[in-house]
Amino acid sequence: MNYKRREFVKLGGLTLAGTVLLPPFLKSCTGVDVSKGLQGYLNHFEVDPGLLKKIIGEAMGKGADYADLFFEHTIENYSTLEDGKVNQAFSNIGFGIGIRVLKGDQTGYAFSETVTPDAMLKAARTAANIANSSAKTASVNVSEVISPDYYPVKVSWENTSIKDKIPYLQKVNDRIFSLDKRVTKVNATIGDTTTYVMFFSSEGKFATDCRPMAYMYVTSIMEQNGRVENFGVSRSARQGSEFLTDQMVESLAKEAVEKNAILFEAGKPKAGEMEVVMSAGESGILLHEAIGHAFEADFNRKKTSIFSDKMGKKVAENFVTIVDDGTLPSDRGALNIDDEGNPTEKTFLVTNGTLTSYLHDRISADYYKVKPTGNGRRQDFRNIPIPRMRCTRMENGPHKKEEIIASVKNGIYVDNFSNGQVNIGAGDFTFFVKAGYLIENGKLTKPIKDINIIGNGPQALSDIVMAGDDTVLSKSTWYCGKDGQSVPVSMGLPTIKIKKLTVGGTNA
Amino acid sequence: MTKEEKYALAVMVIDHALKSGAQEVSVSIDENRSNEIEIRDKKIDKLLESNSLGLTVSLYVDRKYSSHSTNRMKKDELIRFIEEAVTGTRFLAEDQFRKLPEPELYYKGGGTDPGKLDKTLDTIDTRTKIDMATAVHDEAFGKDERIISVSAYYSDNIYNKVLVTSNGFKGDSEGGNVYLSAGVSMKGKTSRPSDSWSETSIFIDKLTKSGIGSKALQRTINKLDPVKIKSGKYPMVVENRVVMNLLSPVYNALSGYSIYQKESFLAGKIDKPVGSKLLTLADDPSIPSSPGSRLFDDEGLAATKRNIFEDGLLRNYYIDTYYGRKLNIKPTSGSASNVIMNLGTRDAAGLVSTLKKGIFVTGFNGGNCNGSTGDFSYGIEGYYVENGKIIHPVNEMNITGNMNQVFFNLVETGNDPRKGRSFMIPSLLFDNIDFSGI
């Protein structure tokens, strides 16, 4: 499979509608009784430790080195406002078990959407086919993985009615229309997901997690003298329905209108290479694309990443420290455990300018003989875990935002993005700038919009010549796509200056 | 689950939803089976098998609408699922436009089977699949000392689906495909390019199985050590393999949703010129054994051939029932079937041979298009061409422009749409495109 390009998209635009129903929508599958701990999960997935061991035995039956079971139950709701009314709601239930078998770095995988013993044993036999010798299972002690809870929930989404969500959609609609007469349409969505995960491996590792996720997305459409512009903004967090606040609605409404209004004045810069100042927060997309994917250890194990021969080497200025962090409370990228049952952590990718770690899953950690970093993630039980980012961010640098902008004679300042991508082997990355400004003689001047920026990862990393002391996390709804799997991520950055990137624009 | 069992389940869900208070209901049940095999550097890297079954029910309750899907098929759970969904729907606002399609627009039966399923796919054993992928892999592996990694990939997929509505539609469809690809990574003097090649077909015996690995290798060799060139306006040939990157925003802009939401740069342009006279595209669901062929769409609407663009004039949008009612336009279908473009006389190499000084775009890297305005900007890679000859690879460049303008710059269409795809778009030659480089 040659998926060298990694796509990264911020929730935007189209039909990602929102909420759902009910007083807790699916009573027939109400969530796990978390208060009962491990037993609550076992009851929910209708299994016991004896059966789990039997399935593992079947999976290891052809001489595998390792096997794991990933049970998942996901309840997803979203509801949408269109034409001033919350007039559509959607939901999805996903339930099943994924069975993975490893022989060296080779993977066999199958899943079942029913958890009857027969169905699970059949899936185990299918996955076992990656190995082809005689069985060598040994009994192991079962131990539960205990991890901190980085996303405690005050009010669970399963106990939140659609009635409680509708007023927030209505408020954001009314507020946006009240802010500017040029507004002609508002689309808004509230979405929530609750995922229960239970993990069991041939090494006896037993882990569970309950993962909430929430987002609210708003698009304003404005018209001026026959011209139409749209601007989408969003917020996301691993929270229960305490996520919904009037304060969030107000900030979304203001941002959706103020940033859209600027687009009517915006043009395109001159095409070519120039200095680029990236704003604090959302510009973390640079880290995600320019280096984050290339630090995922599967690409390095396979030697396809442009960073595969740079471990321990100087890759950036001394003031550059970049981490991938799964421990930020209620952050969209937070994880208590990854999808291989490993506790999450704050992983230092670049420390004072030197490459210090890749992002590992089980296979790559074995290959590099290092401890797993808790980056083995998967979209759902239908997919295998692979190294993925969580919250990728850069720590504070020594400069002030004002001095960074003042240092640029001719360049651009960029602060809103919709998507990015990277070509892992070549290292060429891009991000699409929804809005920004020209910088002329050290000052922000004309607004710009809708341009693509392209650069090369290692070059851009070494070209970060200034970094501000104002690092901030983006709260937007970022999704990362790799090998056909989408996972939620987040990012952060201080204001930085890159010496040279190629900016889309005109040649008039 | 057999087709008959799916129909019976769909009818049970509809009956129960109607009893629970819904006035109209639509149910679809989808089943998918797939296998994936990846060979990397002489070893099996992955063997994946997938079997999934899902049910989606759309409810119209007191002029209110919601839609729900689940993979839990136990009857007692489904009954509670439906009851709770109907209850929840009542909390929503009324929407006078939410109704099932008009029954006279439904497919009424009697059509010729589109021929999209190769029943022998189910009978191919894993060893044969591994051998096919291995043969692809071996065409590239070890053939050049600069190779870092070679991977080959086999997949097959078989699906079937039933759709039943409470106002009289009942239909089922089935299909499948088989796919082979190769990817090669290399280390050059100044770069580490990778590239790939793939072939796909509905029928295993019609799948092109050789030349995949060697093409991927050659494409990667061609991309070694690229040089960025000066910003400027150049003519551009876009290779058939990636030309959909330019067509995708056009297709987004043709949807009823985008038009209604004022996120379409093609809104209000029916029968108006939106490109050069070479822009002629039709949507044709009736081509035998083509991936996009169908007798009815996702709503059950009878499939019909339509012209989308004719000699540069916009003739039809893609309108589903809901947005058709909101826009007061008769629904066509909300989604594309097979899209065919009028062909020229030369392939990509022929188009490139006409360039005095231009760029042959063979890959896109990121970028986006503003649906409301048509402003676009995309990263590209490809080759710099002088006097019809490729001079060197280029990368790390962007093209920028507006979709309302760029198709007026379409000056020649190729004759080389790729086999096995529902969008049969050839390589295209555009004039006067803004490139940003050095």
- The string of pLDDT tens digits covering residues A422-450 is 887 788 889 999 999 999 999 999 999 99
Distance between CA atoms of A107 and A115, rounded to whole angstroms?
A: 22
- List the alpha helices (DSSP H) in B26-166: 75-89, 126-138
Burial per residue of B385-423, b for 16 or more beta-carbon CB atoms within 10 angstroms, e otherwise: beeeebeebbbbbbbbbbbbebbbbbebbbebbbebbbb
- Which amino acid belongs to residue A257? V
Are both A245 and A367 inside the same structural domain?
no
Distance between CA atoms of B209 and B78, rounded to whole angstroms?
A: 44
Per-residue pLDDT at A17 exceeds 70: no
User: How far does the CA of residue B66 sit from the closest CA of chain A (Å)?
Assistant: 5
Q: Where are the domains of chain B?
A: 3-222, 232-436
Give the H/E segment covering residue B210. Answer: none
Tokens describing residue B221: 């060799």
Are both A133 and A241 inside the same structural domain?
yes
Distance between CA atoms of A228 and B259, rounded to whole angstroms?
A: 12
Tokens describing residue A256: 């959706």
Q: Which CATH class is domain B3-222?
A: alpha beta
Distance between CA atoms of A235 and A254, rounded to whole angstroms?
A: 13
Tokens describing residue A190: 């509230």
Interface test with A, best of B261, B357, B359, B431 (most A CBs within 10 A): B261
* A231 inside 8 A of chain B by CB: no
Per-residue pLDDT at B65 exceeds 90: yes
Residues 6+ apart with CB under 8 A from A247: none
Per-residue pLDDT at A136 exceeds 70: no
For A:298-357, CB contacts with B below 8 A are 302-304, 306
- Tell me whether residue A508 is in a domain: no
- Tell me whether residue A433 is in a domain: yes
Nearest to A128 by CA among A89, A102, A158: A102
Report the half-sphere exposure of A460 (CA within 13 A, side-chain side).
31
For A:180-219, CB contacts with B below 8 A are 184-185, 187
Nearest to B138 by CA among B209, B52, B192, B64: B209
Block residue for tokens 């970049």? A322
Q: Which of B38, B40, B84 sits opposite A22 (nearest CB)?
A: B84
Q: What is the model's pLDDT at position A14?
A: 24
Tell me the chain B residues in contact with residue A423 when contact means C-beta distances shorter than 8 Å. 194, 365, 381
Mean pLDDT (chain A, rounded): 89
- Region B261-265 average pLDDT: 93
Per-residue pLDDT at A16 exceeds 60: no
Per-residue pLDDT at B162 exceeds 90: yes
Q: What is the model's pLDDT at position A508?
A: 67
Per-residue pLDDT at B420 exceeds 80: yes
Distance between CA atoms of A251 and A451, rounded to whole angstroms?
A: 26
- Tell me whether residue A239 is in a domain: yes
A299-304: long-range contacts at Cβ-Cβ below 8 A with a sequence spacing of 24 or more?
A299/A424, A300/A358, A300/A364, A301/A105, A301/A363, A301/A364, A301/A367, A301/A368, A302/B40, A302/B41, A302/B148, A302/B149, A302/B185, A303/B148, A303/B149, A303/B185, A304/A4, A304/A424, A304/A425, A304/B148, A304/B149, A304/B185, A304/B192, A304/B194
* A91 inside 8 A of chain B by CB: yes
Helix (H, G, I), strand (E, B) or coil at B274: coil
Helix (H, G, I), strand (E, B) or coil at B16: helix
Tokens describing residue A209: 């997690």
Distance between CA atoms of A85 and A73, rounded to whole angstroms?
A: 31
- The residue ranking higher by pLDDT, A421 or A210, is A210
Per-residue pLDDT at A24 exceeds 50: no
Mean pLDDT (chain B, rounded): 95
- Region B140-160 average pLDDT: 96
Give strand ranges (E) for B166-224: 170-186, 194-201
Nearest to A108 by CA among A71, A138, A63: A63
Which of A243, A263, A283 is a domain's end point? A263
Distance between CA atoms of A414 and A496, rounded to whole angstroms?
A: 10
Nearest to A199 by CA among A376, A329, A328, A331: A376
| Class of residue A217 by CB neighbours under 10 A (exposed 0-12, middle 13-18, buried 19+) | buried
Are both A243 and A301 inside the same structural domain?
no
Distance between CA atoms of A330 and B13, rounded to whole angstroms?
A: 38
Are both A244 and A282 inside the same structural domain?
no
Nearest to B238 by CA among B95, B431, B98: B431
Are both A367 and A414 inside the same structural domain?
yes
Nearest to A198 by CA among A107, A73, A94, A110: A73
Residues 6+ apart with CB under 8 A from A465: A317, A497, A498, A499
Are both A356 and A458 inside the same structural domain?
yes
Q: Among positive and negative, which fits the CA dihedral B372, B373, B374, B377?
A: negative
Q: What is the model's pLDDT at position B238?
A: 98
Distance between CA atoms of A289 and A283, rounded to whole angstroms?
A: 10
Q: What is the model's pLDDT at position A31?
A: 58
Report CB contact under 8 Å: B93, A86: yes
Give the tens place of pLDDT for each residue, B235-261: 999 999 999 999 999 999 999 999 999
User: How far does the CA of residue B225 sit from the closest CA of chain A (Å)?
Assistant: 10
- The residue ranking higher by pLDDT, A30 or B292, is B292
Which of A225, A243, A263 is a domain's end point? A263
- Tell me whether residue A38 is in a domain: yes
Q: What is the model's pLDDT at position A133?
A: 72
Give the tens place of pLDDT for each residue, B180-210: 999 999 999 988 899 999 999 999 999 999 9
Which of A263, A294, A319 is a domain's end point? A263
Q: Which of B47, B81, B191 sits opposite A26 (nearest CB)?
A: B81
Distance between CA atoms of B414 and B405, rounded to whole angstroms?
A: 20
pLDDT band with cut points at 50, 70 and 90 for residue A303: confident
Helix axes A162-179, A246-263, angle to 10 degrees: 40
Q: What is the model's pLDDT at position A135?
A: 61
Are both A56 and A148 inside the same structural domain?
yes
Distance between CA atoms of A359 and A295, rounded to whole angstroms?
A: 6
User: How far does the CA of residue B347 sit from the closest CA of chain A (Å)?
Assistant: 25
Per-residue pLDDT at A174 exceeds 90: yes
- Region A394-411 average pLDDT: 97
Q: How many CB atoms lie within 10 A of CB B327?
A: 17
Strands B357-369 and B232-238 come out as: parallel
User: How far does the CA of residue B26 sit from the closest CA of chain A (Å)?
Assistant: 14
Beta bridge partners of A488: A479
Nearest CA in chain B to A100: B48
Tell me the chain B residues in contact with residue A46 when contact means C-beta distances shorter than 8 Å. none
Nearest CA in chain A to B233: A507
| Domain containing residue A10: CATH number | 3.30.2290.10
Q: Which of A89, A90, A428 sits opposite B365 (nearest CB)?
A: A428
Report CB contact under 8 Å: B47, A306: no
Tokens describing residue A364: 């790559």
Give the tens place of pLDDT for each residue, B114-127: 999 999 998 999 99
Nearest to A100 by CA among A128, A133, A138, A137: A128
Residue B421 to residues A199, B426, B434: CA-CA distances in angstroms? 40, 11, 29
Report CB contact under 8 Å: B68, A20: yes
Give the tens place of pLDDT for each residue, B77-96: 899 999 989 999 999 999 99
Nearest CA in chain A to B92: A87
Domain count, chain A: 2
Per-residue pLDDT at A22 exceeds 50: no
Q: What is the model's pLDDT at position A485?
A: 93
Q: What is the interface size between A and B, counted as CB pairs within 8 Å?
A: 306
Per-residue pLDDT at A280 exceeds 50: yes
pLDDT band with cut points at 50, 70 and 90 for residue B98: very high
Per-residue pLDDT at B302 exceeds 60: yes
Give the tens place of pLDDT for each residue, A90-130: 999 999 999 999 999 899 999 999 889 999 999 999 999 88
- Which amino acid belongs to residue A431? F
Nearest to B37 by CA among B52, B25, B49: B49
Report CB contact under 8 Å: B434, A507: yes
Distance between CA atoms of A74 and A98, rounded to whole angstroms?
A: 14
Tokens describing residue B82: 């439906």
Distance between CA atoms of B296 and B10, rounded to whole angstroms?
A: 18
- Region B268-286 average pLDDT: 97
* ipTM of this predicted structure: 0.92
Residues 6+ apart with CB under 8 A from B396: A428, A454, A455, A456, A502, B226, B228, B379, B381, B437
User: How far does the CA of residue B156 sit from the closest CA of chain A (Å)?
Assistant: 13
Q: Are A332 and A192 in contact (CB under 8 A)?
A: no
Helix axes B126-138, B212-222, angle to 10 degrees: 30
Backbone angles phi, psi at B85, to 5 degrees: -65, -40
DSSP string, A347-400: EEEEETTEE---B--HHHHHHHT----S-EE-SSTTS--EE--SEEEE---SB-
Length of chain B: 438
Q: What is the model's pLDDT at position A19?
A: 25
Backbone angles phi, psi at A328, to 5 degrees: -80, 125
Tell me the chain A residues in contact with residue B232 when contact means C-beta distances shorter than 8 Å. 507
Are both A248 and A327 inside the same structural domain?
no
Helix axes A117-128, A49-59, angle to 10 degrees: 30
For A:413-432, CB contacts with B below 8 A are 418-432
pLDDT band with cut points at 50, 70 and 90 for residue A4: very low
Distance between CA atoms of A414 and A498, rounded to whole angstroms?
A: 11
- Which amino acid belongs to residue B196? S
Q: Residue A17's domain spans which residues?
A: 5-263
Quote the DSSP letter at residue B102: P
Give the tens place of pLDDT for each residue, A225-267: 989 999 999 999 999 999 999 999 999 999 999 999 999 999 9
Per-residue pLDDT at A15 exceeds 50: no
